[in-house]
Amino acid sequence: MCEVCAIFGAGEHWSDFSRLRNERYPFDDIMHYRRERARRLEILNSVLVSRELRCADWDGEALSLHDHAGRFAVAPTLSDVWPLVQKMSGTAFDPLAEDRVEVADG
Amino acid sequence: MDDRLPVLIVTGFLGSGKTTLVQRLLQRIGGEETGVIVNEFGEVAVDNRLYVGMPDDAEIISNGLARKEDISRAFYNIVKRAKADKAKMKRVIFETSGLADPTPVIAVLAEDAWLKANLRLVRVVSAVDAVAGIGSIDTYSETRQQIAVSDLAILTKSDLRAAVDFDAVQLKLRTLVPDLELVDAQSPEFREEELFAEDSRTFPRPAIQEPSASGETSDFQSFVLPITETVDWPLFTLWLSALLFAHGDRIVRVKGLLKTDASRGLLAIHGVQRTMHPPTHMPEKEARPDDCHLVFIVHSIDQASIRSSYQRFVERRFPRAPTASSRFSSIPCN
């Protein structure tokens, strides 16, 4: 956590450890993880577009999902996104199934 | 400084020499400084009597196929004891029962926030018997599962007359796990304390070899996915987390070394079914980018579908928007 601004900035999920963290001076790491999150959200949204779901940042660490009906849910970590996607869109996102990715890509 | 207690999980089939191995560890590295949890099999509490020299306060889970509640209760008791008796306890050994899959133990350590704050899993080792080991790999799916989730195999009973050759056992193990390292417990180079060492580089990293088709056992299939390119980490984590959510029950193991765009060294990732551990970082000087690969151990998933999914998802899609620096570098110099 950044002790100046009290923003955690780096989660504790396995996907949040791409850098060896500098616990004492976490500022660079926080900036790095913010960029990673932005990139992840961008890709996730392009995957979810065919399901009419949107994903957004939630408080710097979690992710939120919205659908066209206005339903809203928070996924504390990346691993919690996929069960929510399944629940809100009715089908699981399966990276092994070709068509899903094709649709998302188009 | 990580002051969590290191945990070593010792697994292996019935009679593979787990108990002897644990006893030996306790003798060599200091039994009084080691918290021990034993999951023994069934009604026959044989191991109880065999544990001569075992700390009296070892936690015993007497249900051979321990449930997660039993496992976390045992870990809770160990951590409470460690806290009560400050600084004396230095490590924890969990010995699984001979028929148990170590996966729930790994999952408990990864899921429970309090345990995660107090304990860290160092590695899972499998005791492999030099006499009966190969036969047990062929016969019992439990053995194959235990080996599939292990980080290191330890050859036991290699001093017996009927013991098969070290290389034969290693070859057999590699048909299950292409990069599994085998060490001989009888070898003078075998140092018990290294089992608790922080990083896996203590043991030589074996050369990866594609498992030969003939050595494949029916239920598990392992394969290596070479990853030569620099991995776009946010994209990779999306792919892998989605894959594990959709098919985690059939992905026994995924591990590997990656060169990512996030740091200069290599990143070692490893997971068991749906549990991924936080990746470990290897220093830049030890990083050999040509080592980069992913190893999958799966059952009833076609490896070609994982390969093509990776290609599709990670390599072809979602071009990265040019960043400020790459935009500058693309300006022609002349």
At B152-185, the pLDDT tens digits run: 999 998 888 888 889 999 988 888 888 888 999 9
Residue B235: count other Cβ atoms within 10 Å of its Cβ. 21
Confidence of residue A3 (pLDDT cuts 50, 70, 90): low
Q: Concatenated DSSP letters for B231-270? A: B-HHHHHHHHHHHHHHHGGGEEEEEEEEEBSS-SSEEEEE
Residue A64's pLDDT is what?
95
B276 touches chain A (CB under 8 A): yes
* Per-residue pLDDT tens digits for A44-74: 998 898 889 999 998 888 899 999 899 999 9
ipTM of the prediction: 0.89
Exposed e or buried b per residue across B313-322, where buried means at least 16 C-beta atoms within 10 angstroms of its C-beta? bbeebbeeee
Provide mean pLDDT across the span A28-34.
Answer: 87
Arithmetic mean of pLDDT over chain A: 83
**Mean pLDDT for the stretch of residues B115-125:** 92
Distances (CA, A) of B34 to A65, B88, B90: 45, 9, 6
A16 to chain B: closest CA residue:
B278
Task: Provide the pLDDT confidence category of residue B315 given band limits of 50, 70 and 90.
Answer: low
pLDDT value, residue A88 = 94
Query: Using one digit for the tens of pLDDT, what is the confidence trace for B105-118?
Result: 999 998 888 999 99
Q: Give the pLDDT confidence score for residue B56 in this predicted structure.
A: 61
* Local confidence band at B241 (pLDDT 50, 70, 90 cut-offs): very high
In the predicted model, what is the mean pLDDT of residues A70-91? 93
Q: What's this model's pTM, rounded to 2 decimal places? A: 0.75
Hey, are the CB atoms on B317 and A105 less than 8 Å from each other? yes
- Domain ranges in chain B are 5-206, 221-316
- Each domain of chain A, given as residue ranges in start order, spans 14-105
Contacts of B233 (CB under 8 A, 6+ apart): A15, A18, A36, B260, B261, B262, B267
A70/chain B closest Cα distance in angstroms = 24
**Cα–Cα distance measured from residue A63 to residue A41, given in angstroms and rounded to the nearest whole number:** 9
pLDDT tens profile B249-298: 888 888 888 888 888 888 888 888 888 888 888 877 776 767 788 888 88
Query: Which of A21-30, B277-286, B319-328 shows the lowest mean pLDDT across its residues?
Result: B319-328
User: pLDDT tens-digit profile of B196-206?
Assistant: 887 654 344 44
**Beta pairing, strands B5-11 & B91-95:** parallel
CA distance to partner chain A, nearest, from residue B333 (Å): 28
Q: Is the dihedral of CA B138, B139, B145, B146 positive or negative?
A: negative
Determine, for residues B243 and A95 on separate chains, whether the beta-carbon distance falls below 8 Å.
yes
By mean pLDDT, which of B47-61, B93-107, B291-305 is the weakest?
B47-61
Work out the percent of chain B whose per-residue pLDDT is above 90. Answer: 19
- Tell me the chain B residues in contact with residue A39 when contact means C-beta distances shorter than 8 Å: 232, 234-235, 320
Give me the architecture of the B5-206 domain, per CATH. Answer: 3-Layer(aba) Sandwich (3.40)
Contact A96 B312 (CB under 8 A): no
Confidence of residue A7 (pLDDT cuts 50, 70, 90): low
pLDDT reported for residue A85: 95
Token pair recorded at residue B271: 């997971």
Two tokens, residue B273: 């079914």
Q: State the pLDDT confidence band at B316, using cuts at 50, 70 and 90.
A: low
In this prediction, residue B228 carries a pLDDT of 84
| Chain position carrying tokens 């892998």 | B240
Q: Test B238 with A47 for CB contact under 8 angstroms.
A: yes
Chain A residue at shortest CA distance from B2: A23
Cβ pairs bridging A and B (under 8 Å): 89
Kindly report the CATH class assigned to B221-316. Answer: alpha beta
> What local confidence, expressed as pLDDT, does residue B19 receive?
84
